[in-house]
Structure 1
Amino acid sequence: MPVEQRVVSRQKIGGGGGGSAPAPAPAAEPVAEKKSRRGLLVVVAVVVVLLIGGAAAYFLLLKGDGAAAEPAPEPTPELGAVVKVEPISINLADGRYLRLGLGLQLTADAGEEIDASRALDLAIALYSGRPIAEVSDPATRDQLKAQLAEQLSEAYEGEVVDVYLTNYVTQ
């Protein structure tokens, strides 16, 4: 706990009449010092905020030296109907099988119906003979789905833009 010091002046009490002015109050000096510190803190805070804002604007807006701008993404085709393909059983390794159902996302230009036999043929070729551990792994399943979507896009000449796994059961 801070110790408070008090100064007592030795001034004559009474009518000395020396004409001297009373001494200024000692409390006025700390108040002025507090105000100047507060003002200094406000100025420092404003400078820091401006520096941080300037740095953020530089890194976010200017992003390097402006060498090569990112290419614009290709426009995605407008989506059309989703054609459901009935689930089929695909033979896996070791006498196991995979029950696989598909949904084919078509473009708006493709219409509403397509022959799903090519999609089934590609799915059978991609999945058959694989070990059950491979098709059960979520990361591998996503890779196989991406491969199937790419193959379907090529086989249907861009009319199929995505594939959905509507049934995926291993046994």
Structure 2
Amino acid sequence: MPVEQRVIGGGAKIGGPKIGGAKIGAPAPEPEPEPKKSKKKLVLIAVVLVVLIAGAAAWWFLLRPSGAPAEPAAEPEPEKGEVLAVEPVSLNLADGHYLRLGFSLQLTADAREAPDPAVAVDHAIELFSGRTVEEISDPKKRAALRDELAAELSEAYEGEVMAVYLTNYVTQ
């Protein structure tokens, strides 16, 4: 009996490409050449980057405007002059209490003449009157009040008073 042979292919048609995808007798396609990176291009890019970084660094350290304006030179501390004693005064505090306050004014060396102490007494009355005994007895608060009085008197006497010293400070 005659034997029949069959070839089973993966969907290949007669006259179509054979297994492997190429026709018999057709030349094999050439592989695409890989793009070559030029060493000249890489060197050029590196040089450009180095120049940009050097320019940015030069601008940052040499030409950049500073964030804060230049500080003016600090004025030197005025020289101490004479000390003017102010007569103690009694001040009314809250809740019927009293404060006996005596102080001296440290004048600057370039003060024209001894200032009138009435202005200093007026500022002291305004600052200390009406406060509670607890408030003025606290050492930190007392120092803050003294410094505030010194600042007010420096302004009132146009810079001729540079400090205030408490010489009498009694509460009742």
Q: Secondary structure at the match of 2:110?
A: helix
Answer yes or no: is the 8 Å Cα contact 1:80–1:112 preserved in 2: no
- The TM-score normalised by the length of structure 2 is 0.57
In 2, the alpha carbon distance for the partners of 1:118 and 1:140 equals 23
Structure index of larger Rg: 2
Is 1:129 matched with 2:123?
Answer: no
What is the CA-CA distance between 1:82 and the residue it aligns to? Answer: 0.3
- The TM-score normalised by the length of structure 1 is 0.57
RMSD: 1.8
Partner in structure 2 of residue 165 of structure 1:
166
Whichever structure has more helix as a proportion of its residues is 1
Structure 1 stretches (4+) deviating beyond 2 angstroms?
Answer: 67-74
Q: Secondary structure at the match of 1:109?
A: coil
What is the CA-CA distance between 1:74 and the residue it aligns to? Answer: 2.8
What is the CA-CA distance between 1:114 and the residue it aligns to? Answer: 1.3
Identity %, equivalent residues: 65
In 2, the alpha carbon distance for the partners of 1:93 and 1:160 equals 29
Partner in structure 2 of residue 140 of structure 1:
141
What is the CA-CA distance between 1:111 and the residue it aligns to? Answer: 3.9
- What runs of 5+ residues in structure 2 fail to find an aligned partner? 1-66
Answer yes or no: is the 8 Å Cα contact 1:93–1:129 preserved in 2: yes
Answer yes or no: is the 8 Å Cα contact 1:90–1:100 preserved in 2: yes
Partner in structure 2 of residue 99 of structure 1:
100
Q: How many residues align?
A: 105
Partner in structure 2 of residue 74 of structure 1:
75
What is the CA-CA distance between 1:72 and the residue it aligns to? Answer: 5.6
Partner in structure 1 of residue 114 of structure 2:
113
What is the CA-CA distance between 1:133 and the residue it aligns to? Answer: 0.2
